[in-house]
């Protein structure tokens, strides 16, 4: 017998919870599986490693845009991030635990330029179960997460170029992944202007 | 008593992704004027936006007897503008917070780009319901 068809809830009517206990988590194996499928799918469509990197970046970008708003909403007191440092700290301390269970390992400003910042993670979950053959050169599967960072900064009003790099470290068996964040000149000009006005 | 009231959501690329005329039927000219005033106020909002951590930006611009109150989403991705004639300030805060939740649900859609207009009828219905309940229009 046909049951009563369920009325599909319009997206606007679905509840959006702020309560941490109601949030569901994803298992590492599911995440690793998804990452490997994403990389395999983009590998089939890409023509070279740069193209592959760009495609992963684009996928990550969409994730980052939505992550930014959602995580800001879930905070106890929604505050905005008018300065670059605010946004970067938000990524380091709020977005990373939400995505990977712990804060990012390092957030530094590059010594050479003041529009470059670096976020490092010693054991990036996307790279944990992916091995890169020598023929791919310096390709880093963390390009997906680089796209996420770019999306979060972009939607917050800080357009930037984010790239993922491997950094060998003497006291760790596996290389650290460092995300180099190069902010647009627009951002630096605006920051300078705001500082002047204060 | 009718009060002039127009609500606009402006996306990242500075164009409106949602507009709602919350009062009764008005003449064409007043509508154009409202749109113009709201767009002009974007500059004032941009100035204030980057120097404060607040979401609610209170009254940012005025034109004759019309005030523009703004709210910026915590993720900096959209601005809500309300053109009104100076009453019920507290209610406007709660109105913006309610619409923020609705906006969030819409933008989480992977197919909703940064420039897509919000065409969802339920969204429109809910915004007008909130306007009636909270702003008393």
CATH of the domain at B26: 3.30.450.70
B74 to chain A: which residues are within 8 Å by CB?
69, 72-73, 75, 78-81
Confidence at residue A145, expressed as pLDDT on a 0 to 100 scale: 93
How do residues A91-116 score in pLDDT, each as one tens digit? 999 899 888 888 888 898 888 888 89
pLDDT tens readout for residues A10-21 = 778 887 777 766
Are A182 and A160 spatial neighbours (Cβ–Cβ below 8 Å)? yes
Whole-number average pLDDT of chain B: 83
Sheet holding B66-72, edge to edge: B16-21, B6-10, B79-84, B66-72, B56-63
Which pairing describes strands B56-63 and B6-10: parallel, antiparallel, or unpaired? unpaired
pLDDT for residue A62? 92
B1 pLDDT band (50/70/90 cuts)? Answer: very low
Domain that holds residue B109: 5-135
Interchain contact, B76 vs A79, CB within 8 Å:
no
Mean pLDDT value of segment A22-34? 86
Name the pLDDT band for B137 (thresholds 50, 70, 90): low
For residue A1, pLDDT over 60 is answered with no
CB contact under 8 A, B77 and A86: no
Q: Which helix (H) or strand (E) holds A82?
A: none
At A116, phi and psi to the nearest 5?
A: -120, 135
Average pLDDT, chain A: 87
In whole angstroms, give the CA distance from residue B105 to residue A70.
Answer: 9
Assign a CATH topology to domain A28-131+160-196: Muramoyl-pentapeptide Carboxypeptidase; domain 2 (3.30.1380)
**A73 has a chain B CB within 8 A of its CB:** yes
Could you tell me which of A188, A16, A22, A38 has the C-alpha nearest to residue A126?
A38
Does residue B86 register a pLDDT over 80? Answer: no
Residue A88, C-beta contacts closer than 8 angstroms, at least 6 positions apart? A107, A117, A119, A153, A181
Nearest to A176 by CA among A165, A164, A163, A167: A167
Q: Which pLDDT does position A4 carry in this prediction?
A: 58
| pLDDT at residue B88 greater than cutoff 70 | no
pLDDT tens-digit series, residues B101-136: 999 988 888 888 888 888 888 899 999 898 888 877
Write the CB contacts of B76 (distance below 8 Å, at least 6 apart in sequence). A68, A80, A81, A82, A155, A156, A157, B49
Dihedral sign for Cα A15, A77, B80, B88, please: positive
Q: Would you say A186 and A98 are in contact if contact means Cβ atoms under 8 Å apart?
A: no
Please tell me if residue B126 touches chain A, with a CB cutoff of 8 Å. yes
- Beta-carbon separation of A11 and B114 below 8 A: no
Instruction: Please give the structure tokens belonging to residue B4.
Output: 């002039």
What is the number of CB-based contacts under 8 A between chain A and chain B?
Answer: 86
Count the helices and strands in chain A (H runs, E runs).
7, 4
Neighbouring residues of A112: CB distance < 8 A, sequence distance ≥ 6: none
> How many domains does one find in chain B?
1
Supply the DSSP string of A18-56, one letter for each residue: --GGG-----HHHHHHHHHHHHHHHHHH-SSHHHHHHHH
Provide the CB-side half-sphere exposure for B55 (13 A, CA). Answer: 20
Task: Report CB contact under 8 Å: B104, A16.
Answer: yes
Report the 3 state secondary structure along A103-149. Answer: CCCEEEECCCCCCEEEEEECCCHHHHCCCCCHHHCCCCCCHHHHHHH
Q: Is the distance from CB of A71 to CB of A151 less than 8 angstroms? A: no
Give the tens place of pLDDT for each residue, B4-61: 688 899 988 888 888 888 776 566 667 788 888 888 888 888 888 888 888 888 788 8
């Amino acid at each position: 017998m046909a049951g009563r068809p369920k009325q599909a809830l319009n997206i606007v009517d679905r509840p959006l919870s702020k309560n941490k206990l109601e949030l569901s988590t994803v298992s590492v194996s599911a995440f690793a599986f998804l990452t490997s499928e994403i990389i395999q799918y983009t590998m089939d469509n890409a023509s070279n490693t740069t193209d592959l990197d760009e495609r992963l970046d684009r996928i990550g970008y969409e994730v980052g845009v939505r992550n930014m708003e959602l995580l800001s909403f879930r905070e106890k007191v929604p505050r905005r991030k008018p300065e670059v440092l605010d946004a970067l700290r938000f990524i380091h301390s709020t977005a990373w635990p939400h995505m990977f269970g712990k804060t990012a390992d390092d957030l530094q400003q590059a010594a050479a330029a003041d529009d470059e910042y670096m976020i490092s993670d010693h054991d990036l979950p996307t790279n944990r179960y992916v091995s890169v053959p020598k023929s791919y050169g310096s390709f880093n599967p963390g390009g997906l997460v680089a796209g996420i960072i770019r999306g979060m900064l972009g939607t917050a009003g800080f357009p930037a170029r984010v790239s993922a790099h491997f950094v060998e470290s003497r006291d760790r068996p596996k290389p650290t992944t460092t995300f180099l964040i190069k902010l647009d000149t627009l951002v630096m000009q605006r920051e300078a202007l705001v500082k002047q006005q204060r | 008593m009718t009060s002039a009231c127009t609500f606009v959501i402006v996306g990242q690329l500075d164009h409106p992704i949602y507009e709602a005329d919350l009062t009764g039927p008005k003449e064409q000219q007043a509508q154009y004027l409202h749109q113009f005033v709201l767009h002009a106020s974007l500059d004032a909002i941009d100035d204030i936006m980057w120097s404060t951590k607040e979401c609610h930006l209170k009254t940012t611009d005025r034109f004759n007897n019309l005030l523009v109150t703004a709210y910026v989403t915590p993720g900096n991705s959209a601005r809500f503008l309300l053109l009104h004639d100076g009453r019920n300030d507290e209610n406007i805060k709660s109105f913006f917070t309610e619409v923020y939740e609705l906006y969030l649900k819409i933008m989480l859609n992977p197919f909703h780009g940064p420039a897509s207009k919000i065409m969802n009828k339920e969204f429109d219905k809910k915004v007008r319901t909130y306007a009636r309940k909270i702003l008393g229009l």
